[in-house]
Amino acid sequence: MACANAPLHVGKGRFMAFRPLHDRVLVRRVEAEAKTAGGIIIPDTAKEKPQEGEVVSVGSGAKAEDGKVTPLDVKAGDRILFGKWSGTEVKVDGEDLIIMIMAAKDVKFSRDARERILRGVDILADAVKVTLGPKGRNVVIDKSFGAPRITKDGVTVAKEIELKDKFENMGAQMVREVASKTNDIAGDGTTTATVLAQAIVREGMKSVAAGINPMDLKRGIDLAVSKVTENLKARSKPVAGSSEVAQVGIISANGDTVVGEKIAEAMEKVGKEGVITVEEAKGLDFELDVVEGMQFDRGYLSPYFITNPEKMLVELQDPYILIHEKKLSNLQAILPILEAVVQSGRPLLIIAEDIEGEALATLVVNKLRGGLKVAAVKAPGFGDRRKAMLEDIAILTKGEMISEDLGIKLENVTVGMLGTAKRVSIDKDNTTIVDGAGDEAAIKGRVEAIRAQIENTTSDYDREKLQERLAKLAGGVAVIKVGGSTEVEVKERKDRVDDALHATRAAVEEGIVPGGGTALLYATKALDGLKGANDDQTRGIDIIRKAITAPVKQIAQNAGVDGAVVAGNLLRENDETKGYNASTDTYENLVTAGVIDPTKVVRTALQDAASVAGLLITTEAAISDSPEDKAAAGGMPGGMGGMGGMGGMDF
């Protein structure tokens, strides 16, 4: 470690003309890296996973706008930068070193911090909420390459927003977290969650500015949210029949009938718990295919394997699949098969009990820099069930399970022993193998064997687990292919189909409530007469009472109608079956009209919004990097042409 105040020399005694080095400076030796004859990079860092602030490799590189590693197009020799660290390669007293600097911090307190954060909340929420409802407007997103993207998907809009002011950006990112969390849990309701979060934060910060105790305010908010959630669950109606399933899909896809019908058809074919995926089609129309496939509940072992940063997915086309029963930690054992796969030019998926240490680090480094398209996941299940599920995967993909019990050592594995599939998709929780190369007769034989085991077992637990395996193996995967006349149209429709699919699953899970924001509007009655332990807590309850009317008002406003008038009319009529149908501009029975929302979506939106809003309301200080002093980031003194000042370097 070097002291922040100590001068750093370059070459023969010249001072480095970098901007002042704040906080602490880490000087790390540049490590040499070896490459095998087969093209696999074996870094000195292979003994441990790269940490934030650690340089994995050295070179000119290119830094992404948001500072994340995943979108980088990295080759051998590129520099990888992590988080808020910057780095450059220099000679210090004739020795190659990496210098990494942590910037000084700017701190804001109480009202100043909250006001700046609130501005960020408003900017993001105002951009997202225009998409709410059937008459929601489009948002056009500029892309650094290709045509602009047009979307009505709240979470897509939220993910694109990054503000210049660091404190405003904190507020925006916290609300973005609301949208992302709701999307992860319920798959829809992101715009509703954003509208609710903005309403709670705005009213909450007004109250804090007026001298109300933030902690009591948050307790009141939590109490009210709990009451509203109970009310929603009590009014929820189970989904019955294919037509109601279709109706949920139609609503979530902004009134697109074809989308709802295709989702209902897919659920009929693979069951309500079955695997349904969405891809882009070549033609103009929607298509539905059911292919041999399987999904299991294990996600990627490292986010560095991600190939689609926008959706945080690993997508592999025509991959080889290595199925290994034991742990992988020894690098030497997997080198021969890695070299063989590199030569083939195809991606590789490794499924094993666990992958750790130098084996995982080598996979990560070669994915980032060595041109090896690779991903690794843990094997599903435990004990004997894990072995059986790996055998299922082997049969489905026409591969061999690598097990020492069968006399097969990892060092002796050849490409011919690997399984293959048309496509593999991996998120942080699940792996989906689509269209494995397995022999149909072998798959049918395996299915019959599992059915026989189900008949013979006396344990309810074993029967349930065998039925799960049977569903995974025999149910297949439904693939909805989304068509369109232009690439922009296809992407926009695919967003809507994804939303609709998640919403439909949520409806099947927890039932439905009247849509159009009316379920939350009428839930205000659950708060009638509810008091907190003190006046500050009661104010928190009042904030939720007002906030849950925001979605219906915003839907009406986007349809060109006065939201306050619509909310007032509905509450005055006091008929919980009635609501405002923005697409037809009428007040009617929304369930009969097919305007319905999954209870899970509405519940999750409110809970996530209140959770993040509560954190923002109770914020008393905010810390961010100080803006760089551009004047101090001048060029290097003579004799160092091409290096430039650190502040001006393009990493």
- Any idea which of 119-133, 503-517, 628-642 has the lowest mean pLDDT? 628-642
Find the DSSP H helices in 100-240.
110-129, 154-160, 166-186, 190-209, 214-235
As a three-state string, the secondary structure of 223-249 is HHHHHHHHHHHHHCECCCHHHHHHHHH
CA-to-CA separations, 292 to 186, 270, 396, 397, 481, in angstroms, rounded: 27, 11, 8, 10, 16
| Model pLDDT for residues 553-611, shown as the tens digit of each residue | 999 999 999 999 999 999 998 888 899 999 999 999 998 888 888 999 999 999 999 99
- Confidence class of residue 468 from pLDDT cuts 50, 70 and 90? confident
Contact assessment for residue 23 and residue 104, using Cβ atoms and an 8 Å cutoff: yes
- Burial of 349 (C-beta count, 10 Å sphere; 0-12/13-18/19+): buried
Average pLDDT, the chain: 80
208-222, 359-373, 403-417, 503-517: which is most confident: 208-222
Question: DSSP for 287-356?
Answer: EEEEESEEEES--BS-GGG-SBTTTTBEEEES-EEEEESSEE--HHHHHHHHHHHHHHT--EEEEESEE-
Contact assessment for residue 107 and residue 623, using Cβ atoms and an 8 Å cutoff: yes
- Percent of the chain at pLDDT above 90? 42
| Model pLDDT for residues 494-543, shown as the tens digit of each residue | 888 887 888 888 888 899 999 989 999 999 999 999 999 999 999 999 99
Contact assessment for residue 533 and residue 499, using Cβ atoms and an 8 Å cutoff: no
- Confidence class of residue 644 from pLDDT cuts 50, 70 and 90? very low
E strand or H helix that includes residue 35: strand 34-35
Unique residue bearing structure tokens 């905010």: 622
Cα–Cα dist 215/408, whole Å = 61
Contact assessment for residue 267 and residue 476, using Cβ atoms and an 8 Å cutoff: no
| Model pLDDT for residues 302-318, shown as the tens digit of each residue | 888 999 888 889 999 99
Cα–Cα dist 209/217, whole Å = 12
What was the pLDDT predicted at 370?
Answer: 63
Amino acid of residue 309: P
Angle between helices 599-617 and 487-510 (to 10 degrees): 100
Domain 108-237+518-623 has CATH 1.10.560.10: yes
Mean pLDDT, residues 376-388: 90
Residue 271 φ/ψ region, left for φ over 0, alpha for ψ in the -120 to 50 degree band, beta for the rest: left
Unique residue bearing structure tokens 């660290």: 85
What was the pLDDT predicted at 31?
Answer: 46
What is 241-292+481-510's CATH topology? GROEL; domain 2 (3.30.260)
Pairing of strands 320-324, 348-352: parallel
What was the pLDDT predicted at 3?
Answer: 39
Please report, for the chain, the start and end positions of each structural domain, with discontinuous segments joined by +: 1-103+628-651, 108-237+518-623, 241-292+481-510, 294-438
- Report DSSP state, residue 139: E
* Cα angle value 597/599/601 (rounded, 5°): 75
What was the pLDDT predicted at 207?
Answer: 96
- Percent of the chain at pLDDT above 70? 81
| Model pLDDT for residues 23-62, shown as the tens digit of each residue | 333 334 444 456 776 777 775 544 343 343 344 333 333 3
Strand segments, DSSP code E, in 498-638 are: 512-514, 578-581, 586-589, 596-598, 621-625
What is 294-438's CATH topology? GroEL (3.50.7)
Amino acid of residue 337: I
What was the pLDDT predicted at 214?
Answer: 95
